[in-house]
């Protein structure tokens, strides 16, 4: 799909590759703003090193927007990952990057504190209790202002600015205040809670007001957009009409119309499909099965080690199936990949201890000399290894208690080029709205989860193929490029104001 962001490369000369070539005078017609820049530091010889000391970050957002950044007069604003270090703007892989500096205290208060110990649990239905600290809020406001200031310095007249995710919810209003000429979009990658939960946030009005600075606020699910609009009406007294808010200034004059819509994010379908067809990755999948003793069924879970992912519920269901005799370690193995996540946050340390203790208990109870019940892998793996795991697994378990989307589910389906395999998917993941032929279940219902797992294990090949074909068709037609183009096209549409 053609991107609605105009290709300006012929109209303007692009800045050079060194920081001194950019300076504050460099202006851009398109800017992406996210907590992190789309690059990671790397040592010489590391995978992905191109000699610059940086490599492109993995992830769907970078995959979706990096090609566009290279073709347009655009720049990406974000933190470069090292606290207490100031970098000048630079270029990498055809992208112009504008680093935002964060101190070590700000990383602790703004990121680990307010973003991940206040907003994250609150927005995920209070699965864990959120903490409310004024010092965290003060840091959040200060850092959001710094991101907004970086955009203001570099945004050309009438530029399009796309702000990403919950760490930067105040930025749209901050931009609107000083640069009303900008076209401002915001996309929330995680769920947005219902007003009854959002009401707990002491700074609820400021967050809603911050988001309403955007022309378009995007969400993963229609229900999230609805929750946001209901909160805007309840906490700001906003006039909401057909997913639109007529935003007024202090004098009661309408400044702009803010819209809220669902734009479910997707994956780089071409990359996953090509990897799944590579002979070396197909051979690696065969080797994985062989190393596990060629069990009849391999079940797979792939998650960040986060309390929202339902890992404990998954392990409990698997353990009960072993205890019931429905599964045996001779025939079934569960591979659980749990990537390290936020290890300086206390609740994440406790979760890791609980999960590892549960895995040890299951294996101690059910392992034999020849077979292991759960292969627990507390690592991050390159995409090639992940695709090999997708090919090796007969059943994919996505048991999230709350998830904005869950791209692992879409990656698994995309990798199944032979239309085999089965997906057990939580109805509380955004992906459930698109992947309706998955075995949908409520992860809080352990008996229902067990039933879904056994249905997947015993599913006839013809039915599995029918379901997988349907899911693959949906994903192939709605890849990550489709997502970004849809959002930007909607952002740039003219809105007819109806004041009646």
Q: At what angle do helices 279-291 and 269-276 cross, to 10 degrees?
A: 70
d(CA 341, CA 307): 10
Is residue 290 within 8 A of residue 437, CB to CB? The reply is: no
d(CA 15, CA 69): 13
Is residue 478 within 8 A of residue 434, CB to CB? The reply is: yes
Indicate if the alpha-carbon torsion angle 382, 383, 384, 390 is positive or negative. positive
Beta carbons within 10 angstroms of residue 441's beta carbon: 25
d(CA 387, CA 381): 10
Active-site residue, from 73, 268, 403, 479:
403
479 included as an active-site residue: no
d(CA 449, CA 318): 9
Over its C-alpha atoms, the chain yields an Rg (Å, rounded) of: 23
β-strand partners of 161: 31, 184
Is residue 88 within 8 A of residue 154, CB to CB? The reply is: no
How far, in whole angstroms, is CA 450 from its chain's centroid? 27
Active-site residue, from 189, 378, 433, 486:
189
Residue where the block lists tokens 């000429």: 181
Burial class (CB in 10 A: 0-12, 13-18, 19+), 499: exposed
Burial class (CB in 10 A: 0-12, 13-18, 19+), 285: buried
SS3 178: helix
Q: Which of 499, 416, 415, 413 is nearest to 424 (CA)?
A: 413
125 included as an active-site residue: no
SS3 297: strand
SS3 479: coil
| Residues annotated as catalytic (active site), given as ranges | 189, 403
């Amino acid at each position: 799909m053609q991107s609605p962001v105009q290709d300006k490369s012929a109209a303007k000369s692009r800045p050079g590759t060194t920081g001194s070539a950019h300076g504050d005078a460099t202006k851009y017609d398109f800017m992406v703003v996210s907590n992190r820049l789309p690059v990671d530091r790397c040592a010489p010889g590391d995978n992905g090193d191109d000699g610059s000391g940086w490599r492109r970050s993995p992830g769907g957002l970078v995959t979706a927007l990096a090609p566009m950044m290279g073709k347009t007069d655009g720049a990406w604003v974000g933190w470069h990952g090292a606290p207490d270090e100031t970098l000048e703007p630079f270029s990498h892989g055809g992208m112009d990057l504008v680093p935002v500096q964060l101190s070590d205290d700000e990383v602790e208060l703004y990121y680990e504190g307010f973003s991940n110990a206040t907003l994250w649990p609150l927005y995920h239905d209070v699965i864990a209790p959120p903490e409310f600290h004024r010092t965290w809020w003060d840091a959040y406001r200060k850092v959001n202002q710094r991101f907004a200031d970086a955009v203001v310095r570099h945004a050309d007249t009438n530029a399009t600015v796309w702000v990403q995710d919950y760490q930067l919810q105040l930025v749209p209003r901050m931009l609107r205040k000083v640069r009303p000429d900008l076209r401002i979009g915001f996309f929330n990658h995680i769920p947005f809670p219902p007003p009854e939960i959002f009401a707990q946030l002491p700074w609820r009005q400021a967050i809603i007001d911050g988001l309403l600075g955007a022309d378009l606020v995007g969400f993963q699910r229609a229900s999230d957009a609805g929750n946001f609009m209901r909160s805007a009406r309840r906490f700001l007294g906003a006039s909401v009409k057909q997913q639109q808010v007529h935003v007024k200034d202090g004098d009661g004059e309408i400044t702009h119309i803010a819209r809220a819509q669902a734009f479910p994010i997707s994956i780089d379908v071409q990359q996953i499909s090509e990897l799944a067809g590579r002979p070396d990755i197909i051979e690696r999948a065969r080797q994985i099965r062989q190393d596990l003793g060629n069990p009849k069924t391999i079940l797979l879970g792939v998650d960040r080690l986060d309390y929202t992912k339902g890992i404990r519920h998954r392990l409990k269901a698997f353990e009960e199936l072993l205890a019931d005799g429905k599964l045996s370690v001779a025939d079934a193995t569960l591979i659980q990949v749990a990537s390290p996540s936020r290890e300086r946050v206390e609740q994440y340390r406790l979760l890791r201890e609980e999960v590892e203790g549960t895995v040890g208990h299951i294996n101690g109870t059910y392992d034999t000399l020849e077979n292991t019940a759960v292969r627990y892998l507390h690592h991050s793996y390159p995409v090639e290894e992940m695709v090999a795991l997708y090919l090796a697994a007969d059943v994919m378990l996505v048991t999230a208690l709350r998830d904005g989307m869950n791209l692992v589910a879409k990656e698994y389906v995309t990798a199944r080029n032979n239309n085999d395999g089965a997906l057990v998917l939580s109805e509380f993941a955004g992906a459930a709205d698109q992947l309706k032929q998955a075995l949908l279940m409520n992860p809080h219902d352990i008996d229902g989860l067990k039933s879904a797992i056994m249905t997947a294990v015993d599913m006839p090949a013809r039915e599995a193929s029918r379901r997988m074909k349907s899911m693959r068709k949906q994903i192939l037609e709605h890849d990550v490029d489709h997502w970004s183009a849809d959002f930007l096209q909607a952002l740039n549409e003219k809105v007819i104001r109806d004041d009646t």
